[in-house]
Amino acid sequence: MGVSLTSRRSRARAGLSLAAALPLVAGALAVGTAAHADPAPHDRQPLVGTKPQWATDRADRGTTSGSDAVGARVYLAGRDAEGLAAYARAVSDPKSPSYGKYLTAEEAKNRFGTTKDQIARVTGWLKSSGLKVTGGNDHYVTVSGDAAAAKKAFGTELHDYVKDGRTYHAPSGTASVPASLGGAVLTVVGLNNAPRLAHHDDTLPGPSAVFRNAGPFSTYYGSNVNDGLPSAYGSHAPYAIKGYTGKQLRAAYGAKNFTGKGVTVAITDAYASPTIAKDIAEYAERNGDKAYRKGQFSQVLPADYTHTKPDECDAAGWYGEETLDIEAVHAVAPEAGIVYVAGASCQDDDLIDSLHKIVDGRLADIVSNSWGDIENNETPDVAAAYDHVFQQGAVEGIGFYFSSGDDGDNTVKHGVKQVDTPANSAWVTSVGGTSLAVGKGDKYLWETGWGTHKAGLSKDGLTWEGFPGTFTGGAGGGTSKAVEQPFYQRGVVPDALAKADGAAKPMRVEPDISAVADSSTGFLVGQTQTFPDGSQKYSEYRIGGTSLAAPVIAGVQALAQQARHGVPIGFANPAIYDRYGTAAYHDVTDHPLGQGRGLGVVRVDYVNGADEKEGLTTSLRSMGGDTSLSATPGYDNVTGVGSPADGYVTSYVPRNHR
C-alpha cells in the first residue's frame, strides 16, 4: 500500500553516502480536482493521480484477471477539506488576522474531522462493491478483495504493466468514487501493487555493524593541520573535526540561554532501536549535555513491525537514524521534551500512521523527519494523504520539518535533475545542508553550501589525485515539477529558480532553511553497534546528511518557541520567509572567504569502516560544490534563506519583551 522510504543520514564511509533513497511519495494535490485526469461520469468524483506514471500504454500487458487479489487503503477527506487548507494557511501566516489562533486536537476534529456518517457511507459503498472491509479509523478504511470488485468500486479496470522487469497491476485510468459520497473520500492508495511486501516480524534485529572514524582529528575547525600533506587551494587543509557537539552547535546557531524548556519535539522514523534509552543517556553524559530528566524522553511504538529484512526496509539500518535525531535535538535544545513515534515499517502508510498519532494526540509542537525520496517516485494519491495530515497539524500549531536529501540535484545518482519528497510539499519546512566551520572558543567562522568532492592521496603522498575529485554527496534542492509556488516564497525566491527548467509558472523550490549536514564537518553521535567479533557495545562516530540538519533545525525551533514565551510557531515557513534578509540568518554562500578561494578538510578513514585490518585511506574533501545547485547571496537552492544566525532565536521574542 505504498512504497519504501529510507533515512537521510550520511556517514560517508570511505567517501560513499550510506543514505540511499528508496521510493517515497509526497507533494501537493487539490482534492477533487480533475486536471490531468481521465473523464469520469457526472455521478462520479475522480481521484487524481491514482494511475501511476509507469502505467503506460507501452508497458500495458492487458487486463488483470478479475480474480487477482487487491488490497487498498481509502483515505477520508473529513468534513471540509478545502476549509482545512484555508484555515491551515490563515493560522500560519504572520500577515493574517487569524495568525496563531490554533485549534485544539478536539476542536480540529470537530471542525474538520471525519463524521461517523461519512465512515458509514464509505464503508457501505465499499461492501456493496464486493470488497471486504478489513480495518480503519477516523482517517482511512482498509479493504481487500479481487480486481473485479475493485473495478466496480473505483470505476476503472486494473491492467498488468511491466515495470523494472517485473509485472504489476495498476489502474488503467483515473480511479473515481460515487459523487453521492459528498467528497468524503480523499484518495485511494494500493490499487497498484508495486511493490507489495507481506510478512510480519514481532522481533526487531540486533544493532547493525559498527562504523567508526579513524584519526587524526581536529577538535575545532583548523585546530590540527599536517604540513606534510599536499596543499590545496593555496594552503594546507586541516583534518576533519572529530564531530561537533551540542555546545558548538548551540553557539553557531544563536541558542544563547534558551534550552527548549516547555516545548516538545517529536521524531518519526521506522522501527525502534532496542538500546536507545541507554545510548542517549550515555552520549549525554560523555559529551556534556544535560542529563535527561524523568519523562523527558518517551516512545510511541506500534504493536508489530513489518518488512524488517535487509532487502526490504533494513530495520537495523534505521537505529542510527533514530539515535542521531534524538541526540541532535537534545544537544541543541537540552530541556525540550522528545517523543519518538515509530513507524511499523518504512512504507508510506506506516509512516503516515505515525504522523497521524502525533496530530491526533497533539503529542508535540515540532516534528522532525529525516526520510525521503526523489520526486519522480511520488504519486499524487499518496501526496494527498501526506498533505492532509500536514494541514491537520498546521491548524493545531504543529510544524513538520523534512530533510531535503543527500544527493544534490539527483543527476549523479538517478540521472534526472529533480527535488526530493516529501520536502517538496508546500506544507512542510524543507531543511537543506551546509558545511560548518566552528573555530576556537566555539566561534562561528563560516558555512558553505554542502556539496562534497573527494580526491584521494596519491601513492607517493605528493598530490591529491584528480583534484578536486568525485562528487560524494550534497544537500538536496531545486525546483519541483509537481508543486506550484506557495504564497510564502513569492517575492523571495528568484524567478530564475521558481521557473527553472522551462517551467511555465512559478513552482515550489527547496529548501527553505538549512543547517550543518556535511559528514566531514558533522555531529558526533553515539550508539550501540555490533563489532567484528560479534560483541555489541556503545561507540561514537561522526555523522552528517540532511538527516542531521533536520533535527538541528527542529532543536533551534524549540529554542525559538521558548523565546516566544511558549506560543507554538506551528507551520513555520511563512514566519521563516518573513525574516528573510534580516540578521536572523547567516547568508550562506559557496565561497565565504571570497570568490575563487576554495575550502577543504583532510579525512583519514578505515577502509572497512571499523578498524585498521584492511588499512586506511586519506583523502581531501572539498566543500561548496553541489552538482548544478549553488549557494549564492540571497535565497538559493542549497541553503534556502540561510542558516540560523545569532539573531534568529531572539527574533521570536515578543516585541514588547525585547
Question: Between 144 and 307, where is the model more confident?
Answer: 144
What b/e readout covers 65-77, taking b as 16+ CB neighbours within 10 angstroms?
A: eeeeebbbbbbbb
pLDDT at 445: 98
| Residue 480 CA, distance from chain mean position | 15
Backbone φ and ψ of 584, nearest 5°: -70, -20
385 and 425 both lie in a single domain: yes
Q: Is residue 27 part of a domain?
A: no
Q: Is residue 4 part of a domain?
A: no
141 and 225 both lie in a single domain: no
Indicate the average pLDDT of the chain: 91
247 and 296 both lie in a single domain: yes
111 and 247 both lie in a single domain: no
Helical H segments across 396-503, by residue range: 411-414, 495-498
Contact 471, 625 (CB under 8 A): yes
Backbone φ and ψ of 244, nearest 5°: -65, 150
pLDDT at 31: 34
Query: CB neighbours (10 Å) of residue 180?
Result: 11
209 and 190 both lie in a single domain: no
Q: Cell 494527498 maps to which residue?
A: 384
Strand bridging mode 470-474 / 451-456: antiparallel
From CA 479, how far away is CA 499, in angstroms rounded? 8
Provide the residue range defining the domain that includes 176.
Answer: 44-195
* 183 burial type by CB count under 10 A (0-12 exposed, 13-18 middle, 19+ buried): middle
From CA 227, how far away is CA 230, in angstroms rounded? 8
245 and 179 both lie in a single domain: no
523 and 560 both lie in a single domain: yes
pLDDT at 193: 86
Compute the average pLDDT of residues 318-330. Answer: 96
From CA 397, how far away is CA 568, in angstroms rounded? 6
Count of domains for the chain = 2
Q: Is residue 448 part of a domain?
A: yes
What CATH number does the domain containing 245 carry? 3.40.50.200
Backbone φ and ψ of 412, nearest 5°: -65, -45
Q: Is residue 10 part of a domain?
A: no
Query: CB neighbours (10 Å) of residue 646?
Result: 16
Residues in the chain: 658
From CA 388, how far away is CA 383, in angstroms rounded? 9
Which of 144, 172, 195 corresponds to the end of one domain? 195
pLDDT at 48: 84
Contact 523, 244 (CB under 8 A): yes
Q: Name the CA radius of gyration of the chain, rounded.
A: 24
Q: Is residue 20 part of a domain?
A: no
* Per-residue pLDDT tens digits for 347-395: 889 999 999 999 999 999 999 999 988 888 888 888 899 999 999 999 9
253 and 145 both lie in a single domain: no
Q: Is residue 363 part of a domain?
A: yes
Compute the average pLDDT of residues 578-584. Answer: 97
Q: Is residue 130 part of a domain?
A: yes
The closest alpha carbon to 514, from 453, 589, 571, 564, belongs to: 589
Query: CB neighbours (10 Å) of residue 338?
Result: 28
> Which residues have a Cβ under 8 Å from the Cβ of 514 and sit 6 or more positions away?
431, 432, 433, 434, 449, 475, 549, 553, 588, 638, 639, 640, 642, 643
The closest alpha carbon to 3, from 18, 23, 27, belongs to: 23
Contact 79, 114 (CB under 8 A): yes
Which of 161, 195, 229 corresponds to the end of one domain? 195
The answer on pLDDT for 457 being more than 50 is yes
219 and 158 both lie in a single domain: no
Q: What angle do CA 543, 319, 139 make, to 5 degrees?
A: 115
Q: What angle do CA 441, 444, 450 make, to 5 degrees?
A: 135
Contact 394, 574 (CB under 8 A): no
> Which residues have a Cβ under 8 Å from the Cβ of 242 and sit 6 or more positions away?
213, 215, 217, 218, 219, 524, 542
In single-letter form, the type of residue at position 29 comes to L
220 and 142 both lie in a single domain: no
Report helix angle 105-112 to 348-360, nearest 10: 110
Q: Is residue 36 part of a domain?
A: no
* Per-residue pLDDT tens digits for 58-79: 999 999 999 999 999 999 999 9
The answer on pLDDT for 200 being more than 80 is no
Query: CB neighbours (10 Å) of residue 632?
Result: 18
From CA 574, how far away is CA 594, in angstroms rounded? 31
242 and 173 both lie in a single domain: no
Contact 64, 137 (CB under 8 A): no
Identify the three-state secondary structure at position 372.
Answer: strand
pLDDT at 163: 86
The closest alpha carbon to 312, from 413, 210, 198, belongs to: 198
Give, as one character, the DSSP assignment of residue 318.
G
Which of 177, 195, 213 corresponds to the end of one domain? 195
* Per-residue pLDDT tens digits for 466-516: 999 999 999 999 999 999 999 999 999 999 999 998 899 999 999 999 999
C-alpha distance from residue 153 to each of 48, 49, 123 (Å): 16, 17, 11
Identify the bridge partners of residue 452 per DSSP, sorted by sequence position: 473
pLDDT at 26: 29
248 and 321 both lie in a single domain: yes
Identify the bridge partners of residue 136 per DSSP, sorted by sequence position: 141
pLDDT at 350: 93
From CA 548, how far away is CA 525, in angstroms rounded? 10
